[in-house]
Amino acid sequence: MTADLSYNTFVIFPNVETLDLRWNKLHSINAETFNLHRLRRLLLAHNNVTVISITVLVENVFRFLPSLEFVDLSFNNLAIVHSSSFAQALRLGEINLSFNHISKFEYNSFSPLFQLKILDLSYNNIVNIAGGDLRQLVDLRKLNLSGNPISVIQSTSFLVSSLEELIVSKCRKLKVVDSHAFAQMINLQYIDLSESDKLEYFAPSALPINETIRRLDLHNTALKVLSRNVLESAEQISMHNISFQCGCLYGLTGLIRQKVQNPGSVTCITARGNRERIDRLSALEICDMTPILPFGNSLSVTVGNSLDIYCIPKLPADEVSWVFPNATGNPRKVFKGHEMEEFRKSSNPSYYLFQSPFYGSKFYKPRIAVHQEKLRFEVVTVEDSGIYKCAVKRDQNIVEQSIKVNVVKPLISLRAGPYYITVAWNASLDIKAKDRVFYFLSASSSFSLSNKMIQLSLYNPWYSYNIVRLKPNTNYTICLSYALRDNYREMLLFKSCTITSTSRNPAIFGSIGIVFLTLLLTSSFIFCFITCLNFVQFRINISQNEKHSCTSGVTLVTVDQFVSCEFSWLLASVSVLGVLCPELQTRVALAEATSFGGMRRKISRIPLRRRCRSLLKRSLTTGGLSKNASGSAQEELGYRLSTIHSSPNQVRSDGNELNTAEDLNL
């Protein structure tokens, strides 16, 4: 059985302070589900919440919980936390998002949570820790990232100066804690890296400079060496079940006794492969010179990404040199890395990293830099593929290790549409050094001298763009390119192209679908047919009414009405009459016009020719009227004309009387 908490479900409990809904089958929480202004603790663990609406946290989901201080969303199916998901819940002090599927945070995901002190993100899918995503948590005290697939903790991973407790235990893929990894956390008191069973290297400069943390937990890790700086920077260290190399710890036994509560539990591996207690080390043990390769001797990276080739010496006095695939190893061609500016503690500490390749005109940060434990590539090019040799020198002895680097070009395909061209691609290069790389779209054709180039943003998550103002019916080559700016030069990193063409200028019906066109034509035909049918019916009704009024003995008041009625019926009966007798047709038309306009006009006397009289007589007898009907029509006509003629004041034609006997004697 599943449950859906609809709007204002708990409005009947306005004073509740703790709401426990764990171990249910809730699958959806809407923005107005909890309208509880006094609620302080909300427990939603072990549900099937996939949307907070729970797979994502929608904006303003807790907007009606202004008093909320703790929310538990663990053991659900959350995949992403949107910005402003916790907006309006400004009093939140603790959030538990453990055991979900979160892989990343949107920028400013926790921006309004200025009072958040505890954040649990353990057992999610977080691979890279973006320090900028957590910097906004200005009062965060405890952060739990245990059980995430993190492989390296870098100097830019944690930029939260207020943090006091950091738990990164049981990270099965964690191998390296890099230089200055925790340097910005000047208030840090406790670090837990325990049970990260692949952790091989903890950099000597990883901890805050001139600061001492209270406790460092490193038990059940794969560390082989541990520097004096790390031991001196921690008050208490847990180091049991670690396979140190005995020769590499010689000289540190006294410091280990001070820092470890039970020194007898700390053991190491001798050169013969035996496990020995630290307090029983022999001066004859020698530290092996073989450098540590935490990621092996074969690496694969996508062009444009950043790359660290680790070759870690075991003693601080060991010297490391590199030979590149082109057999160059001259230090003048490989710059020493400038990792970080000097830290200065103040009331409002602010630390700056070298991130931009250019600093005025005096300093330049190279694309490739050599550090004590690694070779750093800010941006990888295809030419960086090959075998790199790492040489460790101690006194007069040298040990070499070869590392193969394979730079892969991704399969980024482009698709383009007609008219203006819509370009879409399926992936993007993972560019870390965004200040060094720019990428753009270009559109070129063989018929145009000018090409279009659109620079895109590396921060844009969308893989599409509309290229407009192109010529119709033209072939275009569309290319997606990445370029590297290095020492005032530009180097092409990657380029993917496709060929497409814009459509012709569409005709009037060119862009209309077949179904729509068929419906339009059918509707037009039906409309025209109905209109014509109504018009024909209207004309037939008029003709029948005129015929009926002319033959039913209705008294004609005026000559023009009489002539219009009588001769319009004759013209409808004999179609050739207008051709053979134009004078009669003109008179009938004139009579109709004067009658229709309702105006009393004088009708000019128009003599009828003899052939018109005979034609009219013949048409009356052969055009559907019998002789008797013809005679009666003549009598009726003569009677009406004589009646009108007897009233000379009614109809005149320029002062002359109408000669009915001569003109209309049929």
- Which residues of the chain have a pLDDT value below 70? 1-14, 27-28, 30-33, 48-60, 82-84, 106-109, 111, 131-133, 327-364, 415-420, 448-450, 487-488, 505-513, 549-666
Distance CA 586, CA 602 (A): 15
Residue 414: phi and psi, rounded to 5, are -110, 145
- Phi/psi zone of residue 598: left (φ > 0), alpha (ψ -120 to 50 degrees), beta? left
The pLDDT assigned to 30 comes to 66
The pLDDT assigned to 665 comes to 41
- Spelled out in words, what is the top-level CATH class assigned to the domain 298-343+352-408? mainly beta
The pLDDT assigned to 266 comes to 87
CA-angle at 408, arms to 403 and 410, nearest 5°: 160
According to CATH, what is the number of the domain 414-501? 2.60.40.10
Topology alike, domains 298-343+352-408 and 414-501? yes
Give the pTM. Answer: 0.65
Residue 315: phi and psi, rounded to 5, are -120, 145
pLDDT tens for 585-602 read 555 454 544 444 444 444
The pLDDT assigned to 624 comes to 43
Task: Point out which residues pair with 376 in neighbouring strands.
Answer: 308, 369
CATH superfamily of 1-103: Ribonuclease Inhibitor (3.80.10.10)
At 70, which helix (H) or strand (E)?
Answer: strand 70-72
Contact predicate 657/645, CB 8 Å = yes
Work out the number of other CB atoms within 10 angstroms of the CB of residue 219. 17
The pLDDT assigned to 509 comes to 52
Give residue limits of the domains in the chain.
Answer: 1-103, 298-343+352-408, 414-501, 507-546, 553-663
Task: Point out which residues pair with 143 in neighbouring strands.
Answer: 119, 166
Give the CA distances from residue 468 to residues 184, 351, 457, in Å, rounded to whole numbers and listed in that order: 47, 45, 18
Give the CA distances from residue 469 to residues 150, 425, 466, 501, in Å, rounded to whole numbers and listed in that order: 46, 21, 10, 13
